[in-house]
Structure 1
């Protein structure tokens, strides 16, 4: 395996990892996690139940009235009437654990947020989907080039395409995450009373989403640096080829002039050479050289 293909194979690994992170975060409901303070129900015919308010009803009318007043007092002022229930929220739904902790009750997150923020939620979801599609396109493009023989110019084009597509995917993911964070904060303040959390924090899906963004930007910077280095190397190579083509013609002119001077002939202003006329003089005449 040549060096270029090895580099592209190493680049393909973080792209696949970013795709896995983005897909997991998109389908998960653990973007935000927290607890809610919920009123316990009354224990009716459930003496062993722990997550409810116990009371004992008497047979007499006065005793029944006293017990009813006692339960009413606990219901209004007692602290034992509250229970902490954990919940987690994603792009699609919000889930909350039951009192016994055996199962969860889920509902659509779109039904919880205020009506004026639902359009922003769909924009966030659309940006997340486009982010996944761009990362998938990069993975397919780079995987197809790695599996076949490609020239240096092909790798140059691939690096440019990967750099552009990955930076677009990263920016779309960043905008989508920020929009979702804004929507969730607004829902915490203006959402329904039967959903408002007491405490909350970001979950592991939210961390995966930002991890995908970081990988996209890292791959984009790496691909851009490789593209720049390859472009400079290609430019230097072409310049060297042009210099090598011009160098033989440059050295022929001095060599030809040296031959002319060695032969004893030089060009005159009129374009004629020096001529020796000694051979044309009559016998016994002194040898002279005239210039024509």
Structure 2
């Protein structure tokens, strides 16, 4: 988290933007985007040119000139050259001393590519201009941050605009670099006869330009990240102030219902088991026996039959007695 805070800090973003601006300016003004060697026929020997030339009788020091029949690549010289966005310089083959002659790159560009070259230069200048505006905005933001602590909203707005300008400038610079390489390749194949690159490659200014683009995009992404973080934190603080957190209520607990006893079995069920007498409730007191002497059919010598009925479960036992036949009818 500490590393992220340092990366998102406005001073580091301002430093990255300034470095990107300086590298872009150096690459824009440098004539070393591409370098290589040309393939040019050997010139005639003159008073200032005595090596790598075709000997001509009648010149000074003609006695030291060796005439030879040269064929193939011996008829050509390979002077070095380097080219940039504005000018192209090559080695002077008409003098023994090392010197360069430079020409405007626009003069070497074919007519069909001049419009693309002008568009490329316009986009390069817009790239540098947008980076300059972004540097000014970030500088103002740092000044407001130190002088006025309460101007946080204005600082965030300046940070957002600087991030947009930085990213937009980086994209324009990337497209301009690619367009220039296309124009150079067409010029190398369809340019004038005295500009005939035999072999060429990228030079240090080309890599500096792409390094500036990388730093520029890093600065823009850091600025956007910082603005997004500050905006989200501000919204969260405002939401916490407007809607304070409420304590969560205790969760409602519903006790489970009591278990429902199973219904009693019917006596007709095959699984019905009658209860034993030990578990029966105490029986009610039996009523006193009735006197049956008044019955005419009563005979004390004949014992009356006794009936044994099953005892019901509720404990009541019916009493059967013999009536007294001796009483009046």
TM-score by length of 1: 0.72
2: distance between equivalents of 1:171 and 1:95? 29
Q: 1:101 to 1:143 in 2, by over 3 A?
A: farther
Contact 2:10 2:223 in 1 (8 A): no
The aligned length equals 234
- Correspondences of 1:169-184 after superposition (within 5 Å): 169-184=169-184
1: distance between equivalents of 2:240 and 2:54? 88
2: distance between equivalents of 1:203 and 1:101? 24
Q: Which residue of 2 aligns with 1:242?
A: 242
Contact 2:133 2:162 in 1 (8 A): no
Q: 1:131 to 1:101 in 2, by over 3 A?
A: farther
1:89 and 2:89 correspond = no
2: distance between equivalents of 1:165 and 1:90? 26
- Provide structure 1 residue ranges, at least 5 long, that are not aligned to the other structure: 58-66, 248-292
- Which of 62, 76, 98 is the matching residue for 1:102? 98
Per the TM alignment, residue 80 of structure 1 is displaced from its structure 2 partner at its CA by 3.0
Per the TM alignment, residue 78 of structure 1 is displaced from its structure 2 partner at its CA by 5.3
Higher helix share: 1
2: distance between equivalents of 1:13 and 1:145? 13
Q: Which has the larger radius of gyration?
A: 2
2: distance between equivalents of 1:237 and 1:14? 30
Q: Which residue of 2 aligns with 1:288?
A: none
Contact 2:36 2:82 in 1 (8 A): yes
1:221 and 2:215 correspond = no
Contact 2:163 2:223 in 1 (8 A): yes
Per the TM alignment, residue 54 of structure 1 is displaced from its structure 2 partner at its CA by 4.2
Q: Secondary structure at the match of 2:54?
A: coil
- Which of 101, 105, 116 is the matching residue for 2:112? 116
Q: Which residue of 2 aligns with 1:256?
A: none
2: distance between equivalents of 1:145 and 1:227? 12
After superposing on structure 2, the runs of 4+ consecutive aligned residues of structure 1 that deviate more than 6 Å are none
Per the TM alignment, residue 189 of structure 1 is displaced from its structure 2 partner at its CA by 1.5
Q: 1:157 to 1:50 in 2, by over 3 A?
A: same
- Provide structure 2 residue ranges, at least 5 long, that are not aligned to the other structure: 59-64, 247-329
1:130 and 2:126 correspond = yes
Contact 2:9 2:226 in 1 (8 A): no
Deviations 1:238-291 (A, max 9, x none): 0110124x97xxxxxxxxxxxxxxxxxxxxxxxxxxxxxxxxxxxxxxxxxxxx
